[in-house]
Amino acid sequence: MNSILRFIGASLILATLVWTLTANLAIAPVQAAIRQLEEAPGQLVWQSRQTLKDEHGGSWQAIAFKRVRPDGSAHIYLRLVGFPGTADLDHSQPLTLTNSLGKTLTAADISSDMFTDKTQIKTDMGQYDLQPILMQLEPAMPLQLTLPTLDQEKISLNVSPTVVEEWRSLTDQK
C-alpha cells in the first residue's frame, strides 16, 4: 500500500512538473538569435545562424545576414554551407524558395561576387541575394529551399516559419 501511495505521489509531481514546463513554453516569446558583428570600422553585420537538414540527413549551415556599409547602404544575403563533399552546387542557377502553398520565388546566386579569383568559389557553399524577395516570404509558412547542383540532383532544405520570421527581422536592424 505504501509503495502505491509513493507511486501516485511521484506521478502527480511529475505530471505537475510536465504541465508547468509545457505551459511556460507555450507562452514564452520566440527569441531571435540575431548577432551583431563589426567587420570593419563603420561596417556592421547582423546575422541569423541556423542548421538545416537536407532530405538525406546532411547538415547545412544557413546564415542570413544584413551588411550595413559605412555609407549607410545595406543589403541582405543568405549563405548556405554544406560539409565538404556534400554537393557541387551549380552557381549559374538561382536558389528556389517554395512556401507550403506552392508560391515560388528565386534568389540569385552571387557566390562569384565574393571572390576576385573565380577558382576559389566553393562548390559546397552558395551565397544568395535575399534583398529583393525577403519581404515576400510569409512569416507564418514553412519554406523549402531547393539548391541546384552540377549533377542535376537538387538538394532540398526545409525552413520553419520561426526561421523565416527571424530572417525577415533582419530588415529591422539598423
Q: Pick the closest to residue 101 from 48, 157, 142, 50 (CA basis).
A: 142
Q: What is the pLDDT of residue 6?
A: 56
pLDDT number for residue 14: 45
Grid coordinates given for 123: 562548390
Beta pairing class for 95-99 and 43-53: unpaired
The structural domains of the chain, with segments of one domain joined by +, span: 1-30, 34-172
Q: What is the pLDDT of residue 54?
A: 92
CA gap 19, 27 in Å, rounded: 13
Q: Which helix (H) or strand (E) holds 44?
A: strand 43-53
Question: Strand, helix or coil at 169?
Answer: helix
Q: What is the pTM of this model?
A: 0.76
What pLDDT score does 121 carry? 61
Q: Identify the pLDDT of residue 115.
A: 58
Confidence (pLDDT) at 124? 81
Residues of the chain below pLDDT 70:
1-32, 114-122
Taking alpha carbons only, the member of 87, 41, 43 closest to residue 65 is 43
User: Which pLDDT score, from 0 to 100, does residue 50 have?
Assistant: 95
